[in-house]
Every structure is written in structure tokens, then in C-alpha cells.
């Protein structure tokens, strides 16, 4: 408990005695892991979301079957016959490429040449739009402007080619003869690139530490402790979950929590350097941090441990990252760090922040109750509104990255018959009725093709089985079948035009008359995000509630349940408001940032409470207790947060979008958490510990100093 001071003298003596062995053990273990475990850093969180997608499970036997959508936008000076021929050639070249499953462009449009005559010699024909004369093609496109405007701009200077592929397309191997722009997903990042970027970050890290602590030891030992904790954490995750791929944002969770954990220990050692005896500094470092760090670990493990049983890869990985980092960080700070620091003694260990701590304490003492009450009421209102929005599935709390690219869906079938054609026709009609202003001739499917063929076929009248068989035969003959169906699925292309694609996707998901499968990754990912929003939010909320409950239990005080809950919730809730106002899309980067904050906030709050309660117990005044709380727990939190804010802000300069996002989200959230910890936490603590610390509850055998 907070009033106990564990005896660590013997432990420290043993650590000093075996310090070389301890250091070598860590070095050896680290080397073995680095040699055996070669993680692959991935830049896209798609794989994680795809594995979460129920639609993906429904539509695919393997989630990796989902297709990636890339786009080539080609610009031409003038649509001359030669240019038209080259564009047609490009389409054919893309179609022939082994890695590309499907190409959608103006040139995939086929025209059925009507068998208009009743001549005794005639045959249904199919030609590509590219084989028309340029003026005919323009005329044709203008006639059918709606479906084709996705593929060609009105001025006939810009042509879009949409490519569906299972894997990344090597565009460098495709000879595109025109000026063009390629839009695709960068998936993998070479480890060397990642490391080189990290070297720059490390350099800045050293400078910031040098400014704050006026030595090199703090930064070097921090880097080693963080490296060990992060490496061990992810190798254990790999061992438990068997995943070699690490999404680039995940290590930041481990690094951030490890840094702040390290700072509590190092800082206490640093400010205890006034004594000439280094062993005493080590004893202070351990006996003052052993309990709060343990309770932090306990709280984090309890709050996030239950989330490990949720069937979600993302939640499991995020929770495991925090729990393992806390455990390993604790072990590293209790063994490796004292062993390393025992070699050093600082001559100038002055920390010039006493005045700031006093100032913060005075500000905290003189808070205005009305402001606090208004703030808390507003926060509660935000929680209620946010919870309502997330629970109500019809409204979407998180914005979703939506493009107006063509939407391709698959409809599984056992046999292509007239009934199936009619049900797809009914689907098109239902879609038109659901979106009367937006959908007009924008569904391309086997049904549209069958009717076009049948209309032109002078051999058949109404669409019956024979007419359908003939159509399918002609489609085979002219090589267009592949575009509309394969042996398992009918392929339907929807070309959304100025409509809310998310509404369209929801409508498709809820359409019961046909079994609809989404195949492109973007749509599957969006669905997974929507499907998981409630689960992710409930997980986060339950973690915060558990955090509050354990805080109350640790400090044997009911009001502390509320304090523990609200202090950790405030930054998340206000960040949630920012997300909503700024329409920030849901992403793993956002979840990672929130996980970092839950980890950091729980660390900070337990350390703050511990120090405050302890000081009060030993008879300090409220003001003095706040000062001590700020000096011993506040400074590491402020230093840690400032270092993390600088590092995360630097990430926003990275060329990688995932790193930019994690940078901006984490920097903003950590800033909010810091403000909450420094400004709001002390006054909530003062307001809700009404009866002060009840000394009668403390066992008599606990020695008072």
C-alpha cells in the first residue's frame, strides 16, 4: 500500500554484486531475439481490418483473396485516333498482366451490335468502344455519360483505369506512354528504411534528454531500456500470436509506455544523487517506485487483460502491447536499470523545476469550484452523447475514408438461370428506388448484358432459358464472360455518382434478397471499421471503468473510483469531440494513440495518487503534498510527455502517411493528457478526497516516519 516503504537494501546489494551478469544476460537475450526474430513492418493497417471484417469472412475463404483497388489516371493532349489506339493497347496490356485480376476503364465497355435486320444472313456482334472512330466514341460517351464519367473526364483529356489485384502491382514494369498519376496502397516498408528514420529520431531524443537532464547517461540508458522492452514485448507477441508482421504504429505503444515507466525510475535516481553513496540513490529509486509501478502494472493488466478474450485481432494486439510492455518494463527497471546505473554517479544532478512545482500546487489549491463543476458536467454530457452516437448504428461516429471509385460486388450462384437474371434485375430496380436521385443506369451486371444481347438477337424474343443460353454462348464467343461472371460469382459493378457511398454500402449489407459479397479491400475495411466501432468503444470504456474500480480499491476510497475513472477518461472524451468535429476517419493510428494515452494516463494517475496519498499520510499539508506529488511524479510525467510530443510531432514530417497520422493523433492526445494530469487531476483529487486520508484505516503495524 501507499503508506508502506518496501525494504530493498539487500536486493540492491545483490544487484550491484551481480550487475555484470545481469547486463550480460539482457545483452545475450536481446542478441538471440534480434538474431531469431526478423519482423516485417507493414505500412497499411488493411490486413488487420480485413481480418476483422465479417463481410470478408462471408465472401472469401481467405481474407487475402480480397482485391486491392489501384487507379491509373492518364492525361492525353488530344484524343486522336493514334492516342485512342494507345489507350486501348494500355487497357489490353493491363488486362493481360498476371497480377491484375480485373481492369475497369472506358475500354472495358463493350457494345452489342444489334442484329437488326431480318436478313437471312446475320450474326450478333460485340465490339469494344475503343474500336470506334474517335468522333463516334465521343458521341457514344456523351449519350451514355452517366456510367462512363468515372472513366473519362468531360474534356476527353483524362482517362481513369481502375485495377483490381490480389497483390501489389509493380507499376514500374508497366509501360504507360502518357503522363499519369498512380493511386495505390504502399504496403510494406523495408526494415532498413524504418531503422534509418529511427536513427534520426534517436538523435533528437538524445538532444531533448540532454536539455532536460544535462547528461548523456539519461538518454543512453533510456534508449537501451526502451529498446529492450519493445523488442521483448513484440517477440513475446510473436510467440503468443505467431504474427511476424508488425504494423508500423504498434511499436510506438510500447516505446511510449516504456519511456514514461523508465522516467519514473531514472528521475528518482537522478534527484537522489545529492548523497555521495550511489547505493542509497539506487535504494531510493527502487523503494519509492516499486509499489506505484507495481500497482500501475496491476491496473493496466486488470483493465486491459479482459480484452484479450475478445475475438478481435486489433484489440488483442493493442491490449497485449500495453500489458507486456508494463510487465517487461517493470522487470527491466527493477533489474537492468539499477545494474546499469550502479556504474555511474552524477556530479551535477540539479533539476531546476522546484518553482514550477510550487506554482502548479498553488494554482491547484486555488481552483474555482464552479469551473470544475461546469467542466465535469460538460465532460459527462460528451460521454453520454458520444455513447449514444456510437450505440446508434444508423449514425456513424467515425468518419470513413470514402472514394467514389466503382464499387464491385460479387453475387454467388449455383446455376445461371432466368430466375437469377430476374433477381439481379430486381436488385437493380430496388437500388434505383432506394437512391432515386443518384442511381441511373449505373449498375453494370450480367443482367444488363443479357438484356442487351437478347434485344439484339433476332432469333429470340422474350428472355427464356434458350435466349439466356444463347446470350451466354455469345458472351463466351466474344470473350466478355469473364468480365461479368466466373464459375462461382456474378460480378456486379456499381458506379456511385454523387451519393453517399457509405449509405450505399449499408443498403447493400442489409439487402436480403440476394447474397452480396464485397470484394475490394476498401469496402471490406470500411465495413470492418463500422462493425467494430461499438466493440472498440465498449472495450475502451470498460477498460476505463476497471481502471477506476482498481484505483478505488488500491487507495481504499470510493471517491477514488470516480477520480481514477474521470481523470483517465477526460483526454479521451475531449479527443473524441475533436474527432467528431474534424471528421477524422477511424483508423488503427487513432486506436494506437488512444491505447498509448490509456497506458500513459493510468501510469501517471497511479503515480500521482500514490505520491499525494503517501505525503498526506505522513502528515504533509495539502499544498506540500501537491508540491511533492508534482516534484516526484509530475516532473517525470511532464518530461515524458514533452519528449513524446516532440517525437510524435517529428513523425508528422515523415513521408509515410501512417506515421504522420500516428504522429499527429498521439501528439494531440498526449498534450490533452498532460493538461489533464497537470491542471485537472490535482483539483479533482483535492475536491473528491473530502475526508482527507483516514489514518485509522491504516494497520497499526505500519511504521510512521
Partner 1 sequence: MKIFIFICLITTQALFSSVTKHTMLPYTEMHSLFNSVDSYAIKMGDGKKKVFVFLDPKCKFSRKFMKKVNENPYMLKKYQYHIFLYEIPRLNTNNLIHYVYQSKTPLKELKRIMLENNKPSFKEDFTSQTKGMVASIKEIATKLSVHKRPYIVVAEDNNGEN
262 binds partner 1 (CB under 8 A): no
484 binds partner 1 (CB under 8 A): no
For partner 1, which residue of 62, 368, 394, 461 counts as binding (CB under 8 A)?
461
CB of 66 to partner 1, least distance (A): 25
For partner 1, which residue of 61, 62, 78, 119 counts as binding (CB under 8 A)?
119
The three three-digit cell numbers of residue 482, written as one number: 469473364
Q: With contact defined as beta carbons under 8 Å apart, do 63 and 50 qualify?
A: yes
347 binds partner 1 (CB under 8 A): no
HEC string for 370-409? HHHHHHHHHHHHHHHHHHHHHHCCCCCCCECCCCCCCEEE
416 binds partner 1 (CB under 8 A): yes
Determine the Cα angle at 411 with ends 406 and 413, to 5°: 155
466 binds partner 1 (CB under 8 A): yes
DSSP H helical ranges for 392-520: 418-434, 446-456, 465-477, 481-484, 501-510
How many chain residues are in contact with partner 1, going by CB under 8 A? 27
For partner 1, which residue of 82, 469, 653, 695 counts as binding (CB under 8 A)?
469
- Number of neighbours of residue 61 by Cβ within 10 angstroms: 7
By rule CB under 8 A, what string of x and - marks binding of each residue 486-525 to partner 1? -x--------------------------------------
Task: Name which of 3 and 453 has its Cβ closer to partner 1.
Answer: 453
CA distance 108 to 102: 10
For partner 1, which residue of 458, 502, 506, 654 counts as binding (CB under 8 A)?
458
The three three-digit cell numbers of residue 440, written as one number: 441511373
Task: Name which of 121 and 172 has its Cβ closer to partner 1.
Answer: 121
For partner 1, which residue of 10, 369, 370, 415 counts as binding (CB under 8 A)?
415
637 binds partner 1 (CB under 8 A): no
CB of 427 to partner 1, least distance (A): 19
The three three-digit cell numbers of residue 515, written as one number: 447474397
For partner 1, which residue of 459, 500, 621, 694 counts as binding (CB under 8 A)?
459
422 binds partner 1 (CB under 8 A): no
The region of 119-127, 389-397, 565-573, 692-700 touching partner 1 under the rule CB under 8 A is 119-127
Task: Name which of 404 and 482 has its Cβ closer to partner 1.
Answer: 482
Task: Name which of 115 and 520 has its Cβ closer to partner 1.
Answer: 115
Q: With contact defined as beta carbons under 8 Å apart, do 272 and 284 qualify?
A: yes
Q: With contact defined as beta carbons under 8 Å apart, do 502 and 398 qualify?
A: no
**Helical axes 588-617 vs 681-688, angle rounded to 10°:** 50
The region of 67-75, 121-129, 279-287, 331-339 touching partner 1 under the rule CB under 8 A is 121-129
Choose among 214, 490, 537: nearest CA to 387: 537
Task: Name which of 273 and 460 has its Cβ closer to partner 1.
Answer: 460
- Number of neighbours of residue 489 by Cβ within 10 angstroms: 17
Task: Name which of 116 and 512 has its Cβ closer to partner 1.
Answer: 116
Task: Name which of 121 and 394 has its Cβ closer to partner 1.
Answer: 121
Q: In what helix (H) or strand (E) does residue 585 lie, and over which residues does it extend?
A: none
CA distance 667 to 642: 9
CB of 465 to partner 1, least distance (A): 5
Task: Name which of 392 and 469 has its Cβ closer to partner 1.
Answer: 469
CB of 479 to partner 1, least distance (A): 8
Is beta strand 407-412 parallel, antiparallel or unpaired with respect to 158-165?
Answer: unpaired
CA distance 289 to 536: 32
By rule CB under 8 A, what string of x and - marks binding of each residue 122-161 to partner 1? xx--------------------------------------
Three-state DSSP class for residue 286? helix
CA distance 444 to 113: 18
> DSSP string covering 662-674, please?
HHHHHHHHHHHHH
477 binds partner 1 (CB under 8 A): yes
Task: Name which of 453 and 648 has its Cβ closer to partner 1.
Answer: 453
Q: With contact defined as beta carbons under 8 Å apart, do 361 and 626 qualify?
A: yes
CB of 124 to partner 1, least distance (A): 9
CB of 136 to partner 1, least distance (A): 22
Stretch 98-117 residues interacting with partner 1 (CB under 8 A):
114-117
470 binds partner 1 (CB under 8 A): yes
The region of 340-348, 464-472, 645-653, 663-671 touching partner 1 under the rule CB under 8 A is 464-472
By rule CB under 8 A, what string of x and - marks binding of each residue 372-411 to partner 1? ----------------------------------------
465 binds partner 1 (CB under 8 A): yes
Determine whether 259 is exposed, middle or buried from the number of CB atoms within 10 Å of its CB (0-12, 13-18, 19+): buried
The three three-digit cell numbers of residue 169, written as one number: 502491382
For partner 1, which residue of 371, 473, 558, 618 counts as binding (CB under 8 A)?
473
423 binds partner 1 (CB under 8 A): no
Task: Point out which residues pair with 160 in neighbouring strands.
Answer: 73
Torsion angle (degrees, nearest 10) of CA 50, 501, 428, 154: -120
CB of 520 to partner 1, least distance (A): 24
542 binds partner 1 (CB under 8 A): no
CA distance 355 to 224: 32
472 binds partner 1 (CB under 8 A): yes
Largest pairwise CA distance in the chain: 113
Sign of CA dihedral 138, 139, 141, 142: positive
Q: With contact defined as beta carbons under 8 Å apart, do 340 and 23 qualify?
A: yes
CB of 421 to partner 1, least distance (A): 11
Residues that bind partner 1 (CB under 8 A): 114-123, 415-416, 458-461, 465-466, 469-470, 472-473, 476-477, 479, 485, 487
Amino acid at each position: 500500500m501507499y503508506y508502506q516503504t518496501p525494504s530493498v537494501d539487500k536486493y540492491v546489494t545483490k544487484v550491484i554484486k551481480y550487475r555484470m551478469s545481469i547486463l550480460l544476460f539482457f545483452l545475450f537475450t536481446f542478441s538471440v531475439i534480434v538474431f531469431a526474430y526478423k519482423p516485417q513492418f507493414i505500412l497499411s493497417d488493411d490486413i488487420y481490418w480485413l481480418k476483422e471484417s465479417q463481410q470478408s469472412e462471408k465472401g472469401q475463404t481467405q481474407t487475402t483473396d480480397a482485391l486491392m483497388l489501384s487507379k491509373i489516371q492518364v492525361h492525353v493532349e488530344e484524343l486522336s485516333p493514334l492516342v485512342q489506339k494507345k489507350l486501348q493497347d494500355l487497357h489490353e496490356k493491363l488486362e493481360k498482366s498476371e497480377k491484375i485480376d480485373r481492369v475497369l476503364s472506358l475500354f472495358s465497355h463493350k457494345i452489342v451490335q444489334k442484329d437488326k435486320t431480318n436478313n437471312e444472313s446475320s450474326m450478333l456482334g460485340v465490339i469494344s468502344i475503343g474500336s470506334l472512330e474517335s468522333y463516334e466514341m465521343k458521341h457514344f460517351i456523351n449519350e451514355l455519360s452517366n456510367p462512363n464519367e468515372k472513366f473519362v473526364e468531360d474534356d476527353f483529356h483524362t482517362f481513369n483505369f481502375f485495377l483490381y489485384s490480389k497483390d501489389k502491382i509493380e507499376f514500374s514494369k508497366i509501360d504507360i506512354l502518357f503522363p499519369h498519376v498512380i493511386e495505390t496502397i504502399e504496403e510494406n516498408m523495408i526494415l532498413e528504411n524504418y531503422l534509418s528514420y529511427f536513427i534520426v529520431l534517436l538523435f533528437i531524443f538524445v538532444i531533448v534528454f540532454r536539455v532536460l537532464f544535462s547528461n548523456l547517461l539519461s538518454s543512453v540508458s533510456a534508449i537501451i531500456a526502451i529498446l529492450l522492452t519493445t523488442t521483448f514485448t513484440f517477440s513475446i507477441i510473436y510467440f503468443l500470436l505467431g504474427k511476424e508482421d508488425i504494423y508500423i504504429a504498434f511499436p510506438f505503444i510500447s516505446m511510449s509506455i516504456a519511456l514514461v515507466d523508465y522516467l519514473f525510475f531514472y528521475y528518482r535516481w537522478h534527484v537522489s544523487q545529492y548523497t555521495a553513496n550511489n547505493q542509497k540513490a539506487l535504494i531510493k529509486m527502487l523503494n519509492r517506485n516499486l509499489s506505484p509501478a507495481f500497482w500501475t502494472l496491476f491496473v493496466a493488466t486488470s483493465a486491459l487483460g479482459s480484452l484479450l478474450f475478445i475475438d478481435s485481432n486489433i484489440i488483442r494486439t493493442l491490449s497485449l502491447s500495453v500489458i507486456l510492455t508494463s510487465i517487461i518494463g517493470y522487470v527491466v527497471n527493477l533489474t537492468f536499470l539499477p545494474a546499469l546505473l550502479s556504474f555511474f554517479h552524477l556530479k551535477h544532478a540539479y533539476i531546476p523545476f522546484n518553482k514550477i512545482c510550487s506554482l502548479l500546487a498553488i494554482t491547484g489549491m486555488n481552483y474555482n469550484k464552479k469551473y470544475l463543476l461546469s467542466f465535469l458536467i460538460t465532460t459527462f454530457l460528451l460521454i453520454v452523447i458520444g455513447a449514444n452516437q456510437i450505440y446508434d448504428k444508423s449514425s456513424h461516429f467515425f468518419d470513413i475514408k470514402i472514394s467514389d471509385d466503382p464499387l464491385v460486388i460479387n453475387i454467388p450462384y449455383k446455376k445461371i438461370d432466368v430466375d437469377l437474371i430476374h433477381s439481379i434485375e430486381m436488385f437493380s430496380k430496388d437500388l434505383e428506388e432506394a437512391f432515386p436521385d443518384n442511381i441511373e443506369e449505373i449498375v453494370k451486371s450480367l443482367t444488363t448484358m443479357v438484356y442487351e444481347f437478347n434485344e439484339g438477337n433476332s432469333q429470340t424474343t422474350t428472355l427464356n432459358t434458350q435466349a439466356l443460353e444463347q446470350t451466354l454462348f455469345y458472351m463466351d464467343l466474344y470473350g466478355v464472360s469473364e468480365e461479368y461472371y466466373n464459375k462461382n460469382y456474378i460480378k456486379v459493378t456499381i458506379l456511385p455518382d454523387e451519393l453517399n457511398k457509405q449509405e450505399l454500402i449499408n443498403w447493400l449489407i442489409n439487402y436480403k434478397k440476394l447474397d452480396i459479397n464485397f470484394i475490394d479491400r476498401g469496402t471490406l475495411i470500411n465495413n470492418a471499421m463500422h462493425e467494430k466501432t461499438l466493440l472498440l468503444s465498449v472495450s475502451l470504456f470498460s477498460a476505463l471503468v476497471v481502471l477506476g474500480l482498481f484505483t478505488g480499491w488500491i487507495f481504499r476510497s470510493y471517491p477514488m473510483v470516480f477520480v481514477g475513472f474521470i481523470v483517465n477518461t477526460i483526454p479521451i472524451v475531449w479527443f473524441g469531440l475533436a474527432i467528431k468535429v474534424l471528421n477524422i476517419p477511424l483508423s488503427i493510428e487513432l486506436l494506437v494513440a488512444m491505447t498509448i494515452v490509456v497506458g500513459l494516463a493510468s501510469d501517471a494517475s497511479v503515480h500521482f495518487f500514490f505520491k499525494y496519498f503517501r505525503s498526506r499520510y505522513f502528515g504533509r499539508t495539502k499544498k506540500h503534498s501537491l508540491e511533492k506529488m508534482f516534484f516526484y511524479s509530475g516532473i517525470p510525467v511532464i518530461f515524458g510527455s514533452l519528449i513524446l510530443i516532440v517525437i510524435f510531432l517529428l513523425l508528422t514530417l515523415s513521408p509515410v502517411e501512417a506515421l504522420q497520422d500516428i504522429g499527429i493523433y498521439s501528439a494531440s492526445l498526449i498534450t490533452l493528457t498532460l493538461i489533464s494530469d497537470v491542471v485537472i487531476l490535482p483539483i479533482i483529487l483535492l475536491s473528491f478526497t473530502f475526508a482527507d486520508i483516514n489514518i485509522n484505516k491504516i494497520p497499526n503495524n505500519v511504521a510512521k516516519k
